Structure 1
Amino acid sequence: MTTIHRTATEADEPALRVLWAEVFGPAPVAALWALGEKRHARTLVTTEDGRLVAALHYQPRPVRTAPAGAPARVACLGGVATLPQARGKGHVRRMLDLAVARMTEDDCAWSLLFTGTPRVYEGAGWTTYEAPAWEGPLTAPPRAPGGVRAATAADLPDLARLRTAYDTARPLTTVRTPADWHHRVPAWYPEATTTTLLTTDATGYLTFRAHTTPGTATVEELALADPADTPTLTRLLTAAAHEARLTGHHHARTHLPTTLTPSLPALLTTPHPTPRHTGMTRPLTATPAEIGATVGARGAAHWYGDSF
């Protein structure tokens, strides 16, 4: 068998779509990849006797760093997939080694990825970091709080303004572009399974996904015009609990910064910490200490809508 690890070409696109559909199902991996700059040069594939059996890609994205939110050029790695019959042969490891060299040449400071199988990446230099998460039974507000409504497409300018202001100095957040708001965010937050609640005075918003598991809703992001505005935060969390209850949910989890933990009783009756270990980083030109300061900063967050 002839095995080749190489850069993708335009001719590989049909096979890439088939691979990603088989491995990731309905996740919008191929659709978002198709929008990436220099996507072929930043994609590595493995072929066996001419058949594409594995792939990965990266895109440099501006990610804010500690302590003050200065953006770094970060290689966001995704689309890592191997056909079942080609697994266990070291294809991903070889592509990762090639990707590290390519990312470094591309002037990326470090790499970021999210995975449920960290051991695949540890041997290539990536390390896991802990991110806060909480879960528990939803509260049962007797009525919806006033001053909150479901956001619509017409609210995009307010959502973008709030997101930018809330994240200006927040480590690990991505600097969202207009293209992200029009393509990436809707891809990860489809209307069929996602609700975004906006205060009527546009001082804050919250996004939660339904049906992440049966009966469970997941609060994925939140933004406030004033980070110290606890009443607005409480109102949004209460509204989320009420809305989730109406749609048949009784349990929720949150992927929010630790700075918001004191307000969680507005959403969860008994918040239980369930930290995540799915994020991984790898130094390229940055130091491990610099990366650690960013991912471990109080208030650090990577919003699901910025996935890759």
Structure 2
Amino acid sequence: MTSPVDYRPATPADVPSLHATWAEAFTSAHVTQLYAHDPGRLARTFVAVEAGTVVAAVYYLTRRVRNAAGGVDLVGGVANVATRVRARGRGHIRRLLDLAVTAMAADGCAWSLLFTGTPGVYLSSGYRPFTLHYPSGRPAAAVAPLPPDWVVQAEAGVDWAQLAPLHEAFNARRPLSTVRDADDWRLRVPVWYAPPTQLLVARQHGRTAGYLAAQWAPGCVRVVEVAARPDRPEALRALFGAVARTAVGRGVRECVARLPADPAIDAALPYLLTDPVTRTDATGMVRPIHAAPDHLAAITEAPGAFHWPADYL
């Protein structure tokens, strides 16, 4: 016989069993690492408590996300959803999502966003999936050398905040992209793109013009973020060429360009890929709150709509 379950916001006393619940579900340290830096986290963490122990949890944080009209929406980003193995199949997540969405509405969120490998969990709570597309192929085999006024270097220990203006300008009107604040550059981006992710920076005459984040694995390289000054789109050619030359030199046969459809990216893509094919990412889901469903459809279906991995929740 099961004990009664209390569904409510988390309290400081819940934190040990909350962390234990997440430890059952996630192996990555970033779950609690990023959570610990959110000053309002407990009021936005909803827990199912049975016999004094957290058995399921849903957490959300507010994010500013660009919409299809060139503006910015306040969005409730759902994260760290987990249920202990012994408590699964009892509807805890649906009940907790109801509490979270009510709180998002009170916060003024236009809609809600999440990423998941188990979309069926969220359909009954009003979330609907959307699909992102990106290219993949063999690394470009013949890439012209850089002009003498360009330098591309791998940099470790970079101050990510110095790259913020490039990212902001490159994504100024990109639907579904997050408007990053100072804490994102100080905490979230360095966690998601921590080593062994490689950062390449392109400079022309010593001035930073673009950057690229790449993740190398045996036989494969994934390009997971790029940005270039709007008046220096050739920075992308320099960065893509540097990745392709390294990939060919290492015998890498697959290059995944997890990048949006964008005129500057498309023009530079032959410097990175040969015979590209389209891949899809169907892990994203959205739910209207104060916004109308067609407002969300316009965002997720807009040409160039994209959500960068460093902005995952």
TM-score for the superposition, normalised by structure 1 = 0.91
Answering whether residue 243 of structure 2 is matched by residue 240 of structure 1, we say yes
Answering whether residue 259 of structure 2 is matched by residue 256 of structure 1, we say yes
Structure 1 pair 27/251, CA: closer, same or farther in 2 (3 Å)?
Answer: farther
Answering whether residue 77 of structure 2 is matched by residue 76 of structure 1, we say yes
Q: List alignment gaps of at least 5 residues for structure 2.
A: none
Percentage of identical aligned residues: 40
Which residue, 207, 211, 216 being the options, matches 1:210?
Answer: 216
Distance in 1, matches of 2:229 and 2:165, equals 8
Distance in 1, matches of 2:161 and 2:10, equals 37
Correspondence for 1:301: 306
Distance in 2, matches of 1:24 and 1:18, equals 10
Which residue, 177, 194, 202 being the options, matches 2:181?
Answer: 177
| Residue identity in the other structure for 1:236 | L
Distance in 1, matches of 2:76 and 2:30, equals 19
| Offset, 1:48 | 2.4
Q: Secondary structure at the match of 2:275?
A: coil
Query: 152-161 or 97-106, which moves further after superposition?
Result: 152-161
Answering whether residue 127 of structure 2 is matched by residue 126 of structure 1, we say yes
Q: List alignment gaps of at least 5 residues for structure 1.
A: none
| Offset, 1:152 | 4.0
| Offset, 1:157 | 4.4
CA contact (8 A) 1:8 1:43 kept: yes
| Residue identity in the other structure for 1:250 | R
Which residue, 157, 160, 165 being the options, matches 1:161?
Answer: 165
Distance in 1, matches of 2:50 and 2:249, equals 51
Count residues with an aligned counterpart.
Answer: 303
CA contact (8 A) 1:174 1:306 kept: yes
Whose Rg is larger? 2
Query: 292-301 or 13-22, which moves further after superposition?
Result: 13-22
Distance in 1, matches of 2:43 and 2:126, equals 22
Q: Secondary structure at the match of 1:274?
A: strand
CA contact (8 A) 1:141 1:238 kept: no
| Offset, 1:81 | 0.8
Structure 1 pair 238/178, CA: closer, same or farther in 2 (3 Å)?
Answer: same
| Offset, 1:245 | 4.8
| Offset, 1:140 | 3.6
| Residue identity in the other structure for 2:125 | A
Correspondence for 1:96: 97
CA contact (8 A) 1:237 1:264 kept: yes
Correspondence for 1:14: 16
Distance in 1, matches of 2:225 and 2:211, equals 8
Distance in 1, matches of 2:248 and 2:47, equals 45
Distance in 1, matches of 2:67 and 2:144, equals 40
Correspondence for 1:149: 153
Correspondence for 2:292: 287
Correspondence for 2:88: 87
Distance in 2, matches of 1:144 and 1:305, equals 30
| Residue identity in the other structure for 1:179 | D
Q: Secondary structure at the match of 1:74?
A: strand
CA contact (8 A) 2:223 2:259 kept: yes
| Residue identity in the other structure for 1:185 | V
Distance in 2, matches of 1:238 and 1:27, equals 33
Answering whether residue 203 of structure 2 is matched by residue 197 of structure 1, we say no
How well do the aligned residues superpose, as a CA RMSD in angstroms? 2.0
Distance in 1, matches of 2:162 and 2:311, equals 18
Distance in 2, matches of 1:132 and 1:196, equals 23
Correspondence for 1:23: 25
| Residue identity in the other structure for 2:303 | R
